[in-house]
Structure 1
C-alpha cells in the first residue's frame, strides 16, 4: 500500500505544472496574514515569497506540501515554481546570474555541482542564514554550508541513496530476494532479461543520473574501505586513476555488457525510470530514496530502497546524506528575506522536520532512529542505524568539473565514445585544476 496516497486533484495540479516551461503554484493560507499589497508585515517581514524547486515527476510535490502547510498556518502566500529535474541546475544558475531567480530555492550542499551551496555563496548569490538554520546541520558537515563563518543553506532531511527496487516485478521473473552479492546481481540481470525485463533502468542521457549511479557503485568499491578517501585525494595521496574508482567504473561497463540496463539506456531519461519502475518493466533504478515514495504514490506500488551489492571482500555499505538544502536569494528584498527565514525557522522545528521527511520519503534531519524510518528504508535500516554509510562523495569535491567529468564520461561508456581510463584521467585533471 502506498505510504502517501494523494487526492487525484493534487496529481492533476502537478501534472499541469510539469511542462518544460515551469508553471507556478500559488499557495495562499487562510489564517494569520500580512498586508494585501505584499509589503512589510508588522514584524518587518513580507507576507509573500517565491521558491523554485526541482520536480522529478507529477507526484513529486513534497516541497509544495510543506510550504502549503506553512501558508495555511501563517497566512503567508508562497509561489512554488517547479522545474523538471534535468533542467533545474541550468535554470538556477541562469536565473541567479540574470537577477530574476526566485526568493528561495533548493540547492545541493558542498561544492561538487553547479548549484552547490559553497559555489553559489562564494559568488555572492546567497544570503547568510540565522543560528536556527545553523543548529540543524549534521555535526561534521558544517563545511558544506559555511563560508567565512556564515551559514548559507539549511538542510531539508537526510536522504538515503541506493537502488529503488520493485519486489513484485522481481517476483514475476522468479527473483525472490534482492541480490546479496555483485555476482548474484549479474545472475539476476540474466534472469530478468529472460523474463522480458531489465534489472536496472537508468537515465543514461542525464549526467546527474549516470554520475549518481557511479557514486552508488563507489560506496563499497571506495568508501567502505577508505571513508576519508576524499581527504586523501585532497592531500595528493591517491588518485581516481589508481583507486577503487576504477573498480566502480569497470563494474559499470560489466553491468552494461551483461544486459543489466534497459534497451536504449544511453538515451534514457527520468521518464524511463518512472515508467520502468512504475510499469514493472524494470526491477530497480539508481535514484535518491525519496523517489520510492513518489513512485509508490503515483503507481500504487510497494517499492523499497536497497544498497548496491558489495564488491568481493567488501562489507555492506550505503550512502545517505543531506543532499538538498533551502537557500535564500541574496538579491531578494530585505523584508522577503526575513519572510523566508521565518519559514526556515519553522521548518527546522522537530515536528516539521519529521513531517517533511515522511512526505519526501527521507529521514528527519534531526537524526536516524528505527522508529522514524519509513517502511521503504527497512532493508537498509541496520546500515543507517549503525552508521555504515557515507555521504555523496561529490559534495566535498573541489569544483563541479570533477562531477561533470564523471557524469558525462559514464554517458560515453554507454555509447562507446570514451574509456574508463579516459574518465579517471579527466576527473583527476578536473580535481587538480
Structure 2
C-alpha cells in the first residue's frame, strides 16, 4: 500500500497509460552525461501523483530557475513495476524515479542498481520507519515524497464524548466501549464487506502488536517459519470474529460499501471504523468537511496497554539509478536535498490530502490538516509506530480479503481463517521462488 497499492486502497482513478510530460519535453533514460541543467524523473500516472509532482516541479523552478525537471509517467501497478525493472536492467532509467519503499524497493536489488544516499546531510532527518523501508544493510537509497498513513481505528469523537468513553489501549477496553455504544443504540463498529478490500484492516492494522510481541516475526514469516494461525498474528483474525460474534456490527455489514462506512462515521450513527487514515481523510474532506473535527483515530488495540501504537505505511521515495553520473548526479542530489526541506513539504501539503504526518524532521502538519491526522502525530513523536508487514516482507496472499470477509461474517472461525491464509501465502511464496515446503 505504497503508491502502487495505494491506487487501489485510496480509491482514486487511474490515469490513461499514455505518458505525459510536465515542465518540458521528457527524455527517457536521460541520466548520465549532461550539464545538470535538465533533469528527468519517472513517476506513476495516477492523477494525484501528477498533481503532486506538478506542484513540486513548479516550486523547484522558482528556487532554481536554471534547472528544468521533466516528468515522465508510467502506468501504476504491476505494469509500472515491470517498466521500472526493465529500465534499470537496461541502463535506460531517468535521472531519478519515484517509487515504493519497502519490499517492492528491495525487489529492485538497490545495492546493484541504485546510488546510495547515506552520506547526504538530510539522511539523519528522516523518520526511522522510512529509513528502514528505503534501506538495505549497505545504505539508504531514497528521500521521501508524500506523507505516511496508518491502518487504525477511526472513530467519532462526539459519540465518545457523549457516552463518556476514553480511547482504549487494550482489546478488552475496546470491547467494553463497544458494549456501552451498543446500549446507546449506536453501531459500535462499521464493517463494509460490499467492498471486500475493506475487510482486511483488523489483520493488517494489528501488525504493530505482532511486531511488538515478536520483533523477528516478519523475517521468520518470510522464511516460512512464522504463521498467521499462531500467536501473536492470529489475533487480527480473532478481532474480526470477536466483533461479529458480539453483535457489534452494522446490520448491513455484508452489503455496505466503503462510502456507507464513512457516511455512518461522519454522521455519528456508527462510532468506529477500522480503516486506512489516508482514505478517511480524503473522503471526509471531500464529502463531510463539517465533520472533520469529530473524526479521530487510535491504534488497533492489543493485549497490553504498555504496547499501544500505530501500524504505518511509508510514502514513496525518490531514487537515483547508478547510471546517473557527473553533473547530472550533482544536480539531482541538490534537488533531493530540497525535497527534504519544510519548503518542499509545504508544497506537498498544498497538492495532496495528507493521510498522516510527514517523515522528515521539521516538516510540521499544516493547520488545515485533517483532525485524525493531527491525532497521529503524537504516536510518531513518541516512536509508537511500526511498519506494516508489506514493507518488511514481499509475501501477501491474494485471497486475504475473501478470507477476512468470511471470518468477519461468521462463516469461518478465526483460527480456520488464519490457517487458510497461511496456505494462501505459501503459494505466493513459492511463486516468488522462496524455499518454502
* Band of TM-score, shorter chain: 0.5 to 0.7
* Cα distance in structure 2, aligned partners of 1:203 and 1:153: 36
* Cα distance in structure 2, aligned partners of 1:263 and 1:80: 47
Residue in 1 that maps onto 2:299: 307
Deviation at 1:260, TM superposition (A): 4.3
Aligned to 1:393, which of 381, 389, 392?
A: 389
CA 18–223 in structure 1, closer or farther in 2 if over 3 Å, else same: closer
Aligned to 2:308, which of 317, 325, 350?
A: 317
Answer yes or no: is 1:219 the counterpart of 2:208: yes
Deviation at 1:362, TM superposition (A): 2.9
Residue in 2 that maps onto 1:46: 38
Runs of 4+ in 1 over 6 A off after TM superposition: 23-26, 39-42, 58-61, 80-83, 97-102, 234-237, 331-340, 368-374
Structure 2 regions of 5+ residues with no counterpart?
1-10
Deviations 1:65-104 (A, max 9, x none): 5455335545646658698xxxx43453355468799966
Residue in 1 that maps onto 2:4: none
| Paired residues of 1:201 and 1:262 also in contact (CA < 8 A) | yes
CA 408–50 in structure 1, closer or farther in 2 if over 3 Å, else same: same
Answer yes or no: is 1:200 the counterpart of 2:196: no
Answer yes or no: is 1:421 the counterpart of 2:415: no
| Paired residues of 1:110 and 1:117 also in contact (CA < 8 A) | yes
| Paired residues of 1:161 and 1:320 also in contact (CA < 8 A) | yes
Aligned Cα RMSD in Å?
A: 5.0
Residue in 1 that maps onto 2:101: 109
| Paired residues of 1:179 and 1:185 also in contact (CA < 8 A) | yes
| Paired residues of 2:56 and 2:348 also in contact (CA < 8 A) | yes
Aligned to 2:134, which of 139, 145, 161?
A: 145
CA 63–225 in structure 1, closer or farther in 2 if over 3 Å, else same: farther
Answer yes or no: is 1:247 the counterpart of 2:235: yes
Residue in 1 that maps onto 2:358: 364
Deviations 1:308-327 (A, max 9, x none): 2333x453411255612224
* Cα distance in structure 1, aligned partners of 2:273 and 2:220: 30
CA 22–254 in structure 1, closer or farther in 2 if over 3 Å, else same: farther
Q: Residue 81 of structure 2 aligns to a residue in which SS?
A: helix
Residue in 2 that maps onto 1:128: 115
| Paired residues of 1:322 and 1:365 also in contact (CA < 8 A) | no
CA 326–184 in structure 1, closer or farther in 2 if over 3 Å, else same: same
* Cα distance in structure 1, aligned partners of 2:22 and 2:38: 15
| Paired residues of 1:154 and 1:327 also in contact (CA < 8 A) | yes
| Paired residues of 2:16 and 2:45 also in contact (CA < 8 A) | no
CA 102–239 in structure 1, closer or farther in 2 if over 3 Å, else same: same
CA 265–68 in structure 1, closer or farther in 2 if over 3 Å, else same: farther
Answer yes or no: is 1:69 the counterpart of 2:65: no
* Cα distance in structure 1, aligned partners of 2:282 and 2:157: 16
Deviation at 1:270, TM superposition (A): 5.1
* Cα distance in structure 2, aligned partners of 1:390 and 1:263: 33
* Cα distance in structure 1, aligned partners of 2:110 and 2:69: 30
Residue in 2 that maps onto 1:162: 152
Residue in 2 that maps onto 1:7: none
Residue in 2 that maps onto 1:32: none
CA 107–269 in structure 1, closer or farther in 2 if over 3 Å, else same: farther
Deviation at 1:118, TM superposition (A): 0.6
Structure 1 regions of 5+ residues with no counterpart?
1-16, 29-35
Deviation at 1:229, TM superposition (A): 3.2
| Paired residues of 1:159 and 1:363 also in contact (CA < 8 A) | yes
TM-score by structure 1 length?
A: 0.67
* Cα distance in structure 1, aligned partners of 2:200 and 2:221: 18
Aligned to 1:346, which of 317, 333, 338?
A: 338
Deviation at 1:413, TM superposition (A): 2.8
CA 247–349 in structure 1, closer or farther in 2 if over 3 Å, else same: same
Number of equivalenced pairs: 393
Deviations 1:42-66 (A, max 9, x none): 84353664522657xx899666654
| Paired residues of 1:198 and 1:282 also in contact (CA < 8 A) | yes
Deviation at 1:376, TM superposition (A): 3.4
